[in-house]
């Protein structure tokens, strides 16, 4: 009887160990800074998701036209894009912790102000100014995240960060829609409160972080410059891939794609939302797996898979005539997006030496530029020639990204990257 009880106890112990191993803390292998950034990113994303569906309605309440509503949405993005290098300079001089917390706090204050705006002009100004704060905290967060881990962990850390933002963005619109029933100003005010929490937690939890501290004079001198970074082929490749994939995943997908689906494929808004939801879910489920494969098999491997699948998605759209074809395309881009969403930033992290705020700032600007330019160009093409020619132009651009990915030198083999070593210490031919 005793033996039986001992055997049962051992089995229970084994099950507990297996259960513990199955649900291992995903942050256990990373420095504390990664967990802090992921936590804060979630609340920033929830807040952003809260205001996303209601901000156009709030702008419309001032009696403005569609173009003026669009200006409200574009002002934030343009200011964020234009201030990327300035934010990088601030990071290099003051350190990530100060710039990160100040940036989130800045967006918080401008969100409160926007929520209390008494006319259209005030709303436009406050949203534009808020874009500068967004640039500050995103460049600072990127700098910490890319330097906090080794190149064997970088893509997985980036996946956790992106995943938290993705989950937050999914949860936010539900809350925002409910709040709008009380007041169109409420989402902006709640957004401000959430950002205060994120700013405070960042300042407190990163206060003892050497990575996020103000750099010493020696560290400022050792920071990688833009000129040095631009001489590194993988960095240039990362800029190109980031621009093109943002063109597709954010610019095209948020501008002409919804119009194409409703006007030509004749799908309902709810069906279209189903396709986008499928993409988001697949992307979220595969992010960590894709990040792990990038860390194990290399950045070129992940970049080729990601860009190729996104190209296949665009080609599928050019021949889409039925709603189910759009759903199939949504699955494809969900898988491709998981691979490509972390690869360019991981490449940048691989080639960094010390701090490089402006290097990260320019990288951020490349993605913002793709998302900003695509709606303008593709909208012009669609107006003149139709949606499918616009998709065809995008496919040609994506083909360039695939070519760049194929030619990408591997950077994962060391923290600095072999390609960087070749630039800094070139081998002289006798």
Domains 32-222 and 224-423 fall in the same CATH topology? yes
| CA 161 – CA 254 distance, rounded (Å) | 22
Q: Please give the C-alpha separations between residue 109 and each of 188, 224, 377, in angstroms, as whole numbers.
A: 10, 33, 34
Residue 332 near residue 313, CB atoms below 8 Å: yes
List alpha helices for 247-322, DSSP H.
256-263, 269-297, 299-318
How many Å apart are CA 430 and CA 427, to the nearest integer? 9
- pLDDT at residue 363 greater than cutoff 70: yes
Q: Is the pLDDT of residue 425 over 90?
A: no
The more confident residue out of 305 and 224 is: 305
Q: In the prediction, which pLDDT does 419 show?
A: 43
Confidence of residue 326 (pLDDT cuts 50, 70, 90): very high
Strongest mean pLDDT among 37-51, 66-80, 123-137, 250-264: 123-137
2 pLDDT band (50/70/90 cuts)?
Answer: very low
Domain segments of the chain: what residues? 32-222, 224-423
Going by C-alpha positions, the residue among 42, 60, 44 that lies closest to residue 192 is 44
Q: Within 13 Å, how many C-alpha atoms sit on residue 149's CB side?
A: 31
Q: Is the pLDDT of residue 281 over 80?
A: yes
Residue 430 vs residue 69, higher pLDDT: 69
Percent of the chain surpassing pLDDT 70: 83
Closest CA to 158 of 261, 359, 295: 295
Provide, rounded to the nearest whole percent, the portion of the chain with pLDDT above 90.
30
**DSSP summary character for residue 72:** H
Classified as helix, coil or strand, 225 is: coil
74-93 mean pLDDT = 87
Helix or strand or coil: residue 336?
helix
Find the range with the poorest average confidence among 111-120, 324-333, 344-353, 379-388. Answer: 344-353
CB burial class (10 A; 0-12, 13-18, 19+) of residue 35? middle
Confidence of residue 60 (pLDDT cuts 50, 70, 90): confident
Question: Is residue 168 scored above 60 in pLDDT?
Answer: yes
CATH number for region 32-222: 1.20.1250.20
pLDDT at 416 over 50: no
Mean pLDDT of 243-271: 88
Q: Which whole-number Å values give the CA distances from 415 to 105, 202, 234, 345, 346, in the listed order? A: 32, 26, 13, 14, 11
Distance (Å) of CA 250 to CA 14, 244, 363, 386: 47, 10, 16, 20
The pLDDT mean for the chain works out to 82
Which sign does the torsion angle of CA 282, 285, 288, 293 carry? negative
DSSP-assigned letters across all residues of 115-136: HT--SHHHHHHHHHHHHHHHHH
Burial class (CB in 10 A: 0-12, 13-18, 19+), 390: buried
Average pLDDT over residues 350-355: 72
Report DSSP state, residue 430: -
371 pLDDT above the threshold of 90? no
**pLDDT at position 94 over 60:** yes
Which pLDDT does position 55 carry in this prediction? 80
pLDDT band, residue 414 (cuts 50/70/90): very low
Average pLDDT rounded to a whole number, residues 139-166? 83
- Is the confidence at residue 321, as pLDDT, over 80? yes
Q: Which of 368, 347, 348 is nearest to 359 (CA)?
A: 348
The domain 224-423: what is its CATH number? 1.20.1250.20
Name the most confidently modeled range: 51-65, 84-98, 409-423: 84-98
- Which of 6-20, 172-186, 253-267 has the weakest average pLDDT? 6-20
Three-state SS at 71? helix
pLDDT, position 144: 83
Whether residue 396 is predicted with pLDDT greater than 50 in this model: the reply is yes
211: Cα within 13 Å, side-chain hemisphere: 20
């Amino acid at each position: 009887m005793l033996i039986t009880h001992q055997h049962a106890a051992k089995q229970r112990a084994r099950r507990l160990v297996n259960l513990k191993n199955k649900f291992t803390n995903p942050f256990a292998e990373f420095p504390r800074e990664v967990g802090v950034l992921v936590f804060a990113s979630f609340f920033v994303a929830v807040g952003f998701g809260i205001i996303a569906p209601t901000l156009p309605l709030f702008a419309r309440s001032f009696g403005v036209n569609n173009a003026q509503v669009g200006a409200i949405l574009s002002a934030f993005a343009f200011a964020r894009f234009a201030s990327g290098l300035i934010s990088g300079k601030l990071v290099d001089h003051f350190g990530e912790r100060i710039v990160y917390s100040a940036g989130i706090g800045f967006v918080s204050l401008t969100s409160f102000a926007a929520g209390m705006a008494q006319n259209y002009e005030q709303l436009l100004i406050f949203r534009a100014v808020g874009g500068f704060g967004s640039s500050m905290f995103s460049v600072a967060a990127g700098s910490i995240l890319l330097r906090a881990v080794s190149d064997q962990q970088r893509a997985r850390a980036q996946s956790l960060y992106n995943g938290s933002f993705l989950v937050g963005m999914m949860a936010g619109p539900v809350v925002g829609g409910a709040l709008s029933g009380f007041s169109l100003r409420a989402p902006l005010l709640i957004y401000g409160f959430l950002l205060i929490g994120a700013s405070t937690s960042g300042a407190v939890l990163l206060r003892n972080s050497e990575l996020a501290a103000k750099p010493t004079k020696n560290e400022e001198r050792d920071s990688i410059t833009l000129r040095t970074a631009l001489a590194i082929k993988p960095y240039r490749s990362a800029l190109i891939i980031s621009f093109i994939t943002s063109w597709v995943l954010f610019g095209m997908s948020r501008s002409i794609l919804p119009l194409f689906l409703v006007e030509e494929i004749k799908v309902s808004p709810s069906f279209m939302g189903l396709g986008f939801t499928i993409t988001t879910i697949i992307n979220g489920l595969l992010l960590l797996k894709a990040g792990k494969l990038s860390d194990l098999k290399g950045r070129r491997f992940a970049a080729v898979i990601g860009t190729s699948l996104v190209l296949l998605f665009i080609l599928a759209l050019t021949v889409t005539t039925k709603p189910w074809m759009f759903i199939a395309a949504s699955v494809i881009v969900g898988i491709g997006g998981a691979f490509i969403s972390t690869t360019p930033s991981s490449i940048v992290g691989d080639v960094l030496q010390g701090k490089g705020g402006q290097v990260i700032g320019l990288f951020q600007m490349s993605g913002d530029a793709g998302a900003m330019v695509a709606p303008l160009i593709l909208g012009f093409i669609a107006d003149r020639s139709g949606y499918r020619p616009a998709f065809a132009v995008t496919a040609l651009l994506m083909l360039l990204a695939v070519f760049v990915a194929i030619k990408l030198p591997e950077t994962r083999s060391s923290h600095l990257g072999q390609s960087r070593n070749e630039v800094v210490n070139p081998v002289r031919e006798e």
